[in-house]
A and B are shown apart, each in its own frame.
Chain A
Amino acid sequence: MSSANGTVGHIVSSSSGMSSNLHISSISSDEFCSIKAPFITQSSGVLRSTAFREYIKESNISSWCTDSLSDFLDYTENSPLQSSNLQLMPSEDVGKPNDWQDWADQLITDDDDGVSPNWNEILVDTPVADQHPKMAYYVGKASKTSSSLKLSTPVPASPGDACTPMTPSSCGSGSQSKPRMRWTPELHEVFMEAVNKLGGSESATPKGVLKLMKVDGLTIYHVKSHLQKYRTAKFKPVPSSEGTAEKKPTPIQDLPSFDFKTSLEITEALRLQMEVQKRLHEQLEIQKNLQMRIEEQGRYLKMIFEKQCKSGIDQFGPSSSTLERSEPELTNEVSSSPSQLETEPDPIKVELTSTEKQQVETDHSESQPSKRAKLNESSTKLS
């Protein structure tokens, strides 16, 4: 792969192989709202660099880029990005803009189980951004395989939980820009029923299964790969169990007097393994919750700051003196450089005792009493 500069090339080569023919168009900031292009980049400088453009052509680009870039343009006012000059560059294989709009509408899936990101939630207060969610979904599909993805009917919720959450992110190697299916146990149940009706995993065909399942948004590629995995899982246990029998140091049949102890030892060791694994999992869950809380707090701080800027001191009610104190504090913290936030003298401490109780202490108590209560409440739930 060619690359714009050495560093970029290096990173590219080390990531997993991706292939897709994706073409970029960018639009000027004026036409941002009116033209619906599948992919938007901001700096013409980037795209002019043919090497980089080549690189982009050869790799998958997720809808992510679209949104994150739109965010740049939206929320940082003093960002130099805004001054960059956007140019229209026609892409070759992709159809007219009008088609994309239709595809976008058809491809939007509901997120019953909240798997696909809720774009509207992410893009706050940006009217321009509202138009992006529709575009975002099919960025990865804007190339030749789009015809196979064009669904004749819009995607409503399938009966029961067999809804197919399709994520906008692009697919793995081999499959070119097909939406990645996120399977659920319920969907798998439907799959198995269909397979059993067709006489089992060996005789069932992807086409037959697809037809029987009657799940909107499910394609034959999804079924095919799932069936393959299913077959592998069914027939793997036999060879591995034979393997284990050979590996076993003391075959149970041969040493009746020692079996009991050995198998008991093994069982106890397995029990210990379970303890370690359970603990790891427990800690991971706690860590994840903490991480989410931390970001929630950061978001809250930012929101507070913005509110204060917009509506002035009256927003916060009772004592304006309190606000005068906290305002410079907040101004210092939530300024354009979040690095200042990080060198805050009294960081919010989150403590874990041995019983895993959590306390969130903050010295911004005056400005966010409700938030603290909320955090405390949710943290006690965790323990």
Chain B
Amino acid sequence: MAGVAGGNDFQWCFSQVKGAIDEDVAEADIISTVEFNNSGEFLATGDKGGRVVIFQHEQECKNRPHLRGEYNVYSTFQSHEPEFDYLKSLEIEEKINKIRWLPQQNSAHFLLSTNDKTIKLWKISERDKRAEGYNLKDEDGRLRDPFRITSLRVPVLMPMDLMVEASPRRVFANAHTYHINSISVNSDHQTYLSADDLRINLWHLEITDRSFNIVDIKPANMEELTEVITAAECQPNQCNVFVYSSSKGTIRLCDMRAAALCDRHTKFFEEPEDPSSRSFFSEIISSISDVKFSHSGRYMMTRDYLSVKVWDLNMENRPVETYQVHEYLRSKLCSLYENDCIFDKFECCWNGSDSAIMTGSYNNFFRMFDRNTRKDITLEASRESSKPRGTLKPRKVSTGGKRKKDEISVDSLDFNKKILHTAWHPKENVIAVAATNNLYIFQDKIN
């Protein structure tokens, strides 16, 4: 795949936008997670109202071969409901924190969805035939009087309109005292891990009443708590390896073969702090909000407040690449602390070939970095800049001094419009960007 910016490289075009157009955004409609499945045929979103919407990639139209197909709604279901914890008198939000697809093994599709406390395994299956001609019941389901039946017939399968059913197959509950922030399916396709603020558990997909605790960083005295787990992921090739990131900007790699409880890490990744840029906000902005392995498994990427870093698993003392997402915010940290934006958790993602990475920012901007050419681009997900199949125009934030035409100044950025969740198709150059309650899908123009 070629790079992401300029020249005869990709040109990102608007493809679709899903969601309401009104200015008034219902809290429940805010998208909280976006995830392509392993083939890219399906795209799942979760929202604050506990719903999951799955889109399917339609086949290309024969009469418009220059366009890839569109994503249309395939299934919608209520995954989680709000609950009330009577012991603590606290509400448990139904917001979907993460969705992870399982590798496909038969005609049905499986995904894991989680809120703060409970993980559920959903089976999404299609039904396009139904049996007709039952003996004991009518077509509308009413039971027949057995004495009236004079002959027997064999029911036959007749085609019907496609119906997509989502059914919960497993519920993995009561294993997390704190809020779940990550789930990750293991490469063995049998187990997965779930991480909350202080603990990580390992589950078997078939077993719901037991899970193994593999990391526990809860101090004996909670007064001594200074660090929490922020994200965790299984290594894509080695089923015994996983990583977890912390609020202090560190990443620990653990090998489950070493011990049952992986409190002692195998590798410890931390970049030494630059003493010249130390401030009261240093720790907060170093807190890692997302960690993702590359598809190759050789690298991992971490997102902190102002930057994205790529780490080589073989080198612990510093990242191999650092990309500044919105360095112009460094002088605004006090205000961002005041309005809580400094605690926003941005995600990041790799493209299929690991040559490019993407992450979100404010004002509905999102950024892409080409690791080979070192070029970067800022694009915007908004209805105004989205004309059908129109190429997206690169955006620029002016960092002081004269503001050029088409540039936007830092003080004009809308901090309510944040792109926290993005996803990149595993095989093609199609990206999904969640902007509050709208889902934007962009594709590159096939030359």
Q: Do chains A and B stick together as partners? A: no
